[in-house]
Amino acid sequence: MWILRDVIPKRTAPAFGLRNMGTHLKHIPICPPCGIFLPSNHLFLLPLPGLCGHRGVSAPNTTVPKGKIVGGNKSWPGAWPWLVSVWLNGELMCGGVLVGDAWVLTAAHCFTGSRNELAWSVVLGDYDLTKLDEGERIVPVSRILSHPKFNPKTFHNDMALLELSSPVSPSPWVTPVCLPEHPTELDTGTLCYIIGWGSLYEDGPAADVVMEARVPILAQDTCRSALGSQLFTSAMFCAGYLSGGIDSCQGDSGGPLTCWDPASERYKLYGITSWGDGCGERGKPGVYTRVAAFTDWIQQQMEKSPSSREPTCFEMLALAELSPEKQQAELSHLCAFYTQLCSPSASPAACTHAADEKCKAKRQQCGNPPVKMLSRCLLLVSLCMPIHPPALPSAPAPESRCPGLNASAQQVSSVRELYRWILQVPESDLAMIFQEVLVDLASKNAKGLYQARVRATVGHKGTTFAGLIGLENDSLYRSMPGLIALALENGEPLGLPVKTGSKG
C-alpha cells in the first residue's frame, strides 16, 4: 500500500509519492538575533561579488561520515550555499534553491496546503536542522509565485518562485546558484548532485544534516519506459541509477539538482526535485522539473515592476500603520493591479467593481492585521528559540546569553493564546470540515496516535496544522482532530478520511 507522508510532497507523482518533510521542527540551542549572519571560525573561500555557482566553504580535513540521501553521503556546512530550507509555520516542508539576492526556486506542489505567504519562511545557510548554524539566516517569504500552468495531478510545470521580504548579501554560506543560459540538453550520463534533508530510505526518518549524492542524467526515452509516458512530460527529466540504491526521497521536494559546468567553472541549476515512485527502487529513477525550460518565465517574474505584481499580504497589512487618508490612497494604488485583469469587453464600471472585489478578497485572505503580524513575529521568535527551553532556576541567576528570554517566552505564550485567529470566526460559522489527513504510519506512539498533518476549513477559511491522530476508534477520540470534531459536531464523532499514496 502506498502511504502519503507529511503535508505536501519530495517527490510525488499522480499515483506515486511526493517528497516533502513536514515533521521536522527547528531546534536552536543559542539565541543570536534572527536575520543576521553569525561569525565564522572556519577557513573558507570567499565568493566573488556578483558571481553565482561558486561553493564558498571548502571541505574540512576530517573524513566526512557516510550516510544516505538515499544512498548518499553527509555534506559539510557551507558546501552548497544555494540550498535553503522552506518552512510553514515553523515546520520544515521542502527544500529550495537561491537563484537571486531575493528569490528562491522550489516546487509548486509544496504549496498545495497553504498559499498564504505570511505562514512561510526560508532559512538560508542551513545545514543542521537541530541547531543554529554559522551563517544561518531566517527570512520571511513575501510572495509565492507558482507556475500558472502547474498541474497538481500530473506535476507538470512543478515550479514556484518565492520572493523574500528582503535581499540577502552573499557570504561563504549563502550564494545563489547559476541558471542555465538557454534550454540546453545535458548529455546522457552527466553526473550531477542532488542535496537535501529528505528521508534516508523510503518511509524512513529524515536526515538532521544536509545529504548529497551524485546521480547520472538518463535519456528521455529511458525515463518514459521506466515511469510511463502518460506520467512523464517534456517539462521533466529523470536522473539516477536503474539498478536503484541512490535517489532523492520524502523531504527533498523543491531541492536542487546541480551540475558542474567546466566551461564557466561554476555549478548550474538544471533540476528541481519533484516526484518519484518509491525511493531508490530498481528501475524507478527520480523525476525533476527541467529548469532550462522555464528560464524565460523565471527571469520575467524576477524583473517585473512592482505595479505589475499582485499586492502581497505584507503590503496589505502595512496599511494599518497609515493614517486613514493615506491608507485609502495606498489601498487604491495597490488595488489598481486588479484592473489589469479585466476583460477587454468589460465596461469601466464592471471592471472597477471586479477589481474592488478581488482586492477585498486579497485583504480577507491576509486576515486581521494585528493578528497576522503577531503570528509572523511569533513564527520568527519560535524559529530562534529552543523547542525545550531550560527550566527556570530555583533562585535568581544572572542571564549571561539572553537577558529576559524566559520572561519573554512566557509573554509570547500568553499572547499566542490570547490572539488565536480562530477567535475571530463568528460563532455561527464555527465548524471544521476536514479535507485531508496525511499520516506518517511509522510514527505510532505508545498511546496509539500517529503524527499527521491535517488540512481543513474553519469558518470557510482553509487552514493546515500538525498534530497527533488516531486511526483506530479508541485512539481517535484521544486525538486533537477527534476532540475538535466532537466539540464542533455536537458530540457526534466525525470520520477523518486518511489519504493514501506513495509519499508526501
Residues marked as catalytic? 109, 158, 253
Pairing of strands 211-216, 137-146: unpaired
Q: DSSP per residue over 455-466, as a string?
A: EEEETTEEEEEE
The grid cell for 248 is 532523492
Residue carrying the nine cell digits 477559511: 461
Pairwise CA distance, residues 344 & 408, whole Å: 54
Pairwise CA distance, residues 284 & 241, whole Å: 8
Which residues, including other chains, have CB under 8 Å from residue 91's CB and lie 6 or more apart? 7, 21, 22, 23, 24, 25, 466
Which residues, including other chains, have CB under 8 Å from residue 410's CB and lie 6 or more apart? none
Using alpha carbons, list the distances in angstroms from residue 413 to 8, 91, 166: 28, 18, 27
CB 38 within 8 A of CB 223: no
Q: Which amino acid type is present at position 52?
A: C
- Alpha-helical regions (H) of 293-404: 295-303, 313-317, 324-335, 348-366, 369-383
Closest CA to 58 of 42, 39, 41: 42
CB 52 within 8 A of CB 33: no
Closest CA to 267 of 330, 194, 183: 194
At 214 the three-state DSSP class reads strand
Pairwise CA distance, residues 174 & 77, whole Å: 11
CB atoms closer than 10 angstroms to residue 341? 12
